[in-house]
Structure 1
Amino acid sequence: MSRSYLMLPRALTRLFHIAPVPGEPRRKEWGEVERCLGVGLPADYKELIHLYGGSNWDDYVYVLEPGCLNENYDLVEWAERQAEDLEDLWEFEKKPAELEAEGSRVIPWATTDNGECLYWLVRPGVEPDRWTVMVNEARGDRWEHFSVSCTDFLASALDGELQSDILSSLFPRAPHEFRQLTAV
């Protein structure tokens, strides 16, 4: 690893203690990814992908990666699919209050083995590094909002500091498990 873990943002340092960086950092061309999504992405997420890539945490949370080696977890494809699915869903269900403001939307950054989806809450005028996290249950209309970044959410969920009523009660595991996603 080219950077000392002491220089990483706090949440990434916490993740480093849970699962040391598995190998060489990954290089990404973020310009094309951000063009496809129509927005810039948070710096902490880019660093998470740089260090860990598409990954599975405690055999439950799958962090999406643009161009993921396991094509089932490609960030851009997930974003496109989820945007379509949610627009269809909101014809029948009420949008969460956080999404009522015009121009607000969600972009997925992780999913779970049960089908819950973890999103960034994207609001007009809010810079990507200030995006917060929303969690949607797999087969229902419950949503939770957490006023933290994606890496803060992941680190806090893994160390038990953050509790979700939607995510599995079996998460996190002890001891923690980590694996990079590979081609299928």
Structure 2
Amino acid sequence: MCLAVSGEVALADLVEEISRRYGPSRNLAMGGYADPTVDVTTGLPLLTPFGKHVVDMRAWVYGSWWIGAGTADSGDGVRRVVLVAERAESVVGGSPADASWVERVAAVTGWVGDRRVRTIDWAAVEQRLGTALPSDYKQLAEIFGHGDFDGFLSLYVPDAGVSGMDIVDHAEYLARGASQEGTRLWRPYDIYPAPGGLLQWAASEQADQFYWLTEGSDPEAWPVLVYEDVPGSWRRFDCSAAEFVFRMLTERGHPYSTARYFDTHWFQRYEP
């Protein structure tokens, strides 16, 4: 569906208004030049109706839909347009069999065309935390940033800019709470920085809490523990954070599956 927009509406204002609801956009075309790498998984359906007449196009992902806003040359002048296009179902098998779990998460969410990788001072982050962090988590934080998967799992990252979503600030907050109130809420576990304590890296809209159990000196071997805000509801997953996210997105039998509700998966970023 494509709509022409009144000439009184500036494209910048239109982009800003849509971004308030659907997060930052991706740039598919600018100044009459379309990104030649764009394909059906990264926004091509928004360019197809206009062909060589597209001037500018920004794209947002929402569930199984693309939302686009831009300008096109109609022959009698450049007009602003807004359109919605169906988003092709992600094909997990399209990624190499030896792809990393992070690469698989990027592929299944259609994030492969996004190049806005964050720069994070991991040495400073890990010094403040007092521990190294799993490498796959660091890649997730750099590639995706602060936001959520399928509107369900929110990733905690450094410098999130949102209270409670910064992984370092949140770890310090939980540590203060544990020192003042004890660890009864997390029994039989302790809270990091206690040896082998819990370090939270994500949360869900349903108050599920996703932790690493920081047992052992190798962060790459830390298992994922999930707490459902119900006493004794701990579940352990002997996998990395990225593998957990991928299986959550793609396996209908996963305890926290979003695949049971969505055929197409996405990540919505909450920062510029």
For 1:152 and 1:118, locate their aligned partners in 2 and report how far apart those are by CA, in whole Å.
13
- Larger Rg: 1 or 2? 2
Shift of 1:147: 0.2
Mean CA deviation greater in 86-95 or 39-48: 86-95
Matches within 5 A, 1:152-167: 152-160=243-251, 163-164=254-255, 167=256
Residue 66 of structure 1 pairs with residue 158 of structure 2: yes
Ranked by relative contact order (alpha carbons within 8 Å, sequence separation 6 or more), the top structure is 1
Identity of aligned residues (%): 24
1:117-148 CA distances to partner (integer Å, 9 max, x unpaired)?
A: 1001101x331111110001124331110000
Match of 1:173 in 2: 262
Asked if 2 retains the 8 angstrom alpha-carbon contact of 1:56 and 1:180, the reply is yes
Shift of 1:37: 1.1
1:145-182 CA distances to partner (integer Å, 9 max, x unpaired)?
A: 00000001001111116622xx4778663322321122
Residue 12 of structure 1 pairs with residue 12 of structure 2: no
For structure 1, the 5+ residue unaligned runs are: none
TM-score (norm 1): 0.80
Matched residue SS, 1:46: helix
Asked if 1 retains the 8 angstrom alpha-carbon contact of 2:198 and 2:213, the reply is yes
Aligned-residue CA RMSD (Å): 2.9
Matched residue SS, 1:40: coil
Shift of 1:50: 1.3
Q: Structure 1 residues 114, 92: closer, same or farther in 2, change over 3 A?
A: closer
For 1:63 and 1:55, locate their aligned partners in 2 and report how far apart those are by CA, in whole Å.
6
Asked if 2 retains the 8 angstrom alpha-carbon contact of 1:70 and 1:181, the reply is no
Match of 2:183 in 1: 90
Mean CA deviation greater in 138-147 or 36-45: 138-147
Matches within 5 A, 1:36-47: 36-47=128-139
Q: Structure 1 residues 131, 50: closer, same or farther in 2, change over 3 A?
A: same
Paired residues in the alignment total: 173
Asked if 2 retains the 8 angstrom alpha-carbon contact of 1:45 and 1:151, the reply is yes
Mean CA deviation greater in 64-73 or 49-58: 64-73
Asked if 2 retains the 8 angstrom alpha-carbon contact of 1:157 and 1:172, the reply is no
For 1:86 and 1:182, locate their aligned partners in 2 and report how far apart those are by CA, in whole Å.
30
Match of 2:117 in 1: 25
For 2:106 and 2:185, locate their aligned partners in 1 and report how far apart those are by CA, in whole Å.
42
For 1:89 and 1:169, locate their aligned partners in 2 and report how far apart those are by CA, in whole Å.
34
Matches within 5 A, 1:117-156: 117-123=209-215, 125-156=216-247
1:79-137 CA distances to partner (integer Å, 9 max, x unpaired)?
A: 122334456353477415x99xx8211101100111111001101x3311111100011
